[in-house]
Structure 1
Amino acid sequence: MGEPARRMTTTGSARVPSGLVWTLALVGALVSPAAAASAPLAPASFHGPREAPSRLSLRSGAGQGSAKKASEAELGEPTWLRLNLSLTATWRRYCARPGVAGCGEYERLPEEDQVGDTSDFSSTKPYLGFLLEVDALPLAHRETSVLRGLGLRLGIQQGYSSSDVTLTGDGGQTPAREASATDTAFTAQALYRFYFRFGTTRPQQGYVGARAGLQTRAFDVDDAEDTPLSGTHRVFPAVAVDLSVPLFSSVRLDASGGLLLSPKPGRPPDADGGRRAQEITDFGTSVSSFGWSAELGVSGEIWGPLGYDVAFRLAHFRDRFEGSGTRTGWTKGGVAEETYSSLHVGLIASY
């Protein structure tokens, strides 16, 4: 009885129809991948597919590196060369008063004490001209170097116009005379900038910096014209601090403030004969000067390396004279104040 049972079991397994075997094999092949995908991996099978996540993590790391580079590019890395070519409109105001420390102080004196020749000048028309400015930072692309913010600024600004000039003295006021003049400024300064990231959703790069070097400012009156107005010629050291903060993707706020150190007018004796010496001798025997500058504007990108710049600049000078001058009433020196206000609109090219 035991042996037939064994034979039935063996015969039963051996007599499975071949068609059914192929059907079951096909169904198993179709069902196994789906089951493997839905079922958790058994401990024994973990070592098999373990390499696939490893390869995915490598790709993910490479993607993060690419994203990081793209993000850094969006920050606007410092450029090693920046060219600024702008059209300018400049207004000049000038006043000279004897025996006081400021033009406003003279106006507050009683009329009987307002004695001596005074000068007033204001531009009835702006001095139209141009500005060319170059910022060079040769180490700007060295991200890990503390010297990447070290550079140089060179600039020239020039404007031309004609204005009406009057001279007021004890004998009254002279008729207005037209005077043609040229306003010229040069800049040669070393600079350093510290760059920082600004913003949260899409940070960009801003900077705070400092500049130091030489500047000039010359107001030349046409020698051929008979006018009581004399020009001013200044060469002086200057220091300034700069700030540039990105507001939007294509708009940044630029601001600066500076001190103009001993910007004395004229340098007698001078190769210009007595013309520049007259800038001092008219009002006294010696002069001490002080000045300041300020700038506020916006800039940004237009396309590729091209951008725009709109700025308003101020430069103010105060000259204190001592001693006796050649003009009437200037026996105890006095003061002269000069202010330049400039509007700049131009294009920027960065590399």
Structure 2
Amino acid sequence: MTTTRSARVPSGLLRTLALAGALAAPAAAASDALTPLAFHGTRESPAWLSLRLGTTPSGRAQAKTEPEVGAPTWVRLNLSLTATWRRYCARPGVDSCGEYDRLPEEEQLGDTSDFSSSYPYLGLALEAEVLPLARHPNSVLRGLGLQLGVQRGFSSSDVTLTGDGGQTPVREVSATDTAFTAQAMYRFYFRFGTTRPQQGYVGARAGIQTRAFDVEASTDNPLTGTHRVFPSVALDLSVPLFSSVRLDASGGLLLSPRPGHSPDADGGRRALEVRDYGTSVSSFGWTAELGVSGDIWGPFGYDVAWRLAHFKDRFSGAGTLTGWDDGGAAEETYSSLHVGLIATY
């Protein structure tokens, strides 16, 4: 009888060998897949990284830079609809209208003038800012520029005159308000924010401004307007609040904004701006502005601002009006609302 022997492999060993084979196969496949990459010496970036990184011709990753919000531009145009209110007062023998109004009635002697806008002077304003070195690599030079502006409004106003004989009836007269600006400016830009950098700025302006208020000439309208040409200086601040909203503020001084001009050859009405109240005049003034601006789409944006301009005149000498034997004071205030569309390049 022949006896046949057979080797028996434990079932546990078979399971171990099968598991090892299954693990070895993916590893070998991965090694074969990596070999071409190792040969070429590059490796693909993860998909999420490609959104933030570009590649140079040599294959190395390079960070992409995004333009900062509010960065200086070469040209900025602002076309605005304007609504302007004007107030004017003139009082004899005092330094301010308020001082005269606080006097007892028996001491309020002489002709006084009060002028107020019944309705706002509706008009247009166009401003242009030019920064020819906005893209210059030297950041100190980027803020050099020029600002030009023109504004004109039309409306009617109520006029009353008060004298020793009492108060005249209210008269409605047509008038125009015109302003020009030509100023050199410099701005220092600063970064604001960390997630997406924005730029704000502080700046200064200096130049020439004009303000002319003309009322219709008629026999029953004894009042004259005011015409001023004067140097001015101002400080500006613009701070980004959000990606599409920035806070803008400015304040300035108006240097010797005296009313009136030399008498015309025919003794025109402009000479009366001083002659009625005295023989000479000294003046000062100030401006203030507060508003918001921002981007709408592409190169277009918006601007909403409230602006004030105040003038104070101190007359000396004898004027032609009753009670103006030793000069007096006049005050003029313009309050304007600007709502505009901005285009930049």
Task: Please indicate the TM-score interval, normalised by the length of the shorter structure.
Answer: 0.7 to 0.9
1:78–1:140 Cα contact (<8 Å) kept: yes
Corresponding position of 2:101 = 107
2:192–2:198 Cα contact (<8 Å) kept: yes
Match of 2:173 among 179, 186, 194: 179
How many Å separate the matches in 1 of 2:40 and 2:219?
92
Q: Which stretch has the larger CA shift, 267-276 or 254-263?
A: 267-276
- 1:258 counterpart = 2:255: no
How many Å separate the matches in 2 of 1:148 and 1:89?
34
Which whole-Å deviations, capped at 9, do the CAs of 1:51-89 have from their partners, x for residues lacking one?
4479999949965431xx22xx14332111000000000
Corresponding position of 1:20 = none
- 1:329 counterpart = 2:323: yes
Match of 1:269 among 263, 266, 270: 263
1:97–1:117 Cα contact (<8 Å) kept: yes
Q: 1:185 to 1:148 in 2, by over 3 A?
A: same
Corresponding position of 1:122 = 116
How many Å separate the matches in 1 of 2:62 and 2:266?
66
More helix by share: 1
Which whole-Å deviations, capped at 9, do the CAs of 1:85-109 have from their partners, x for residues lacking one?
0000000000000000011100111
User: Structure 2 matches for 1:235-250, cutoff 5 A?
Assistant: 235-250=229-244
Q: 1:28 to 1:118 in 2, by over 3 A?
A: closer
Instruction: Work out the number of aligned pairs and report it.
Output: 315
Q: 1:55 to 1:299 in 2, by over 3 A?
A: closer
The alignment's C-alpha RMSD in Å is 2.8
Q: 1:51 to 1:286 in 2, by over 3 A?
A: same
How many Å separate the matches in 2 of 1:190 and 1:58?
41
1:179–1:225 Cα contact (<8 Å) kept: no
SS across alignment from 2:319? coil
* C-alpha displacement of 1:243: 0.7
* C-alpha displacement of 1:203: 2.3
5+ residue gaps, structure 1:
1-24, 39-47
Q: Which stretch has the larger CA shift, 93-102 or 75-84?
A: 75-84
* Runs (4+) off by over 6 Å: 35-38, 53-58
User: Structure 2 matches for 1:45-56, cutoff 5 A?
Assistant: 51-52=41-42
- 1:32 counterpart = 2:14: no
Q: Which stretch has the larger CA shift, 262-271 or 321-330?
A: 262-271
The sequence identity of aligned pairs, in percent, is 73
> Which amino acid is the alignment partner of residue 28 of structure 2?
S
Larger radius of gyration: 1
> Which amino acid is the alignment partner of residue 139 of structure 1?
L
2:54–2:63 Cα contact (<8 Å) kept: no
Corresponding position of 2:63 = 65
2:235–2:252 Cα contact (<8 Å) kept: yes
User: Structure 2 matches for 1:166-205, cutoff 5 A?
Assistant: 166-205=160-199
TM-score by length of 1: 0.83
> Which amino acid is the alignment partner of residue 32 of structure 1?
A
> Which amino acid is the alignment partner of residue 144 of structure 1?
N
SS across alignment from 2:305? strand
How many Å separate the matches in 1 of 2:253 and 2:26?
84
How many Å separate the matches in 1 of 2:293 and 2:45?
45
Which whole-Å deviations, capped at 9, do the CAs of 1:294-348 have from their partners, x for residues lacking one?
0000011111111111000000000000000000000010000000000000100
* C-alpha displacement of 1:146: 1.8
TM-score by length of 2: 0.84
* C-alpha displacement of 1:148: 1.3
Q: 1:284 to 1:252 in 2, by over 3 A?
A: same
Which whole-Å deviations, capped at 9, do the CAs of 1:11-34 have from their partners, x for residues lacking one?
xxxxxxxxxxxxxx9x97764355
2:215–2:224 Cα contact (<8 Å) kept: yes
2:206–2:231 Cα contact (<8 Å) kept: yes
Which whole-Å deviations, capped at 9, do the CAs of 1:270-302 have from their partners, x for residues lacking one?
467331110001000000000000000001111
How many Å separate the matches in 2 of 1:249 and 1:300?
8
Which whole-Å deviations, capped at 9, do the CAs of 1:221-254 have from their partners, x for residues lacking one?
1124621221000000000011111111111111
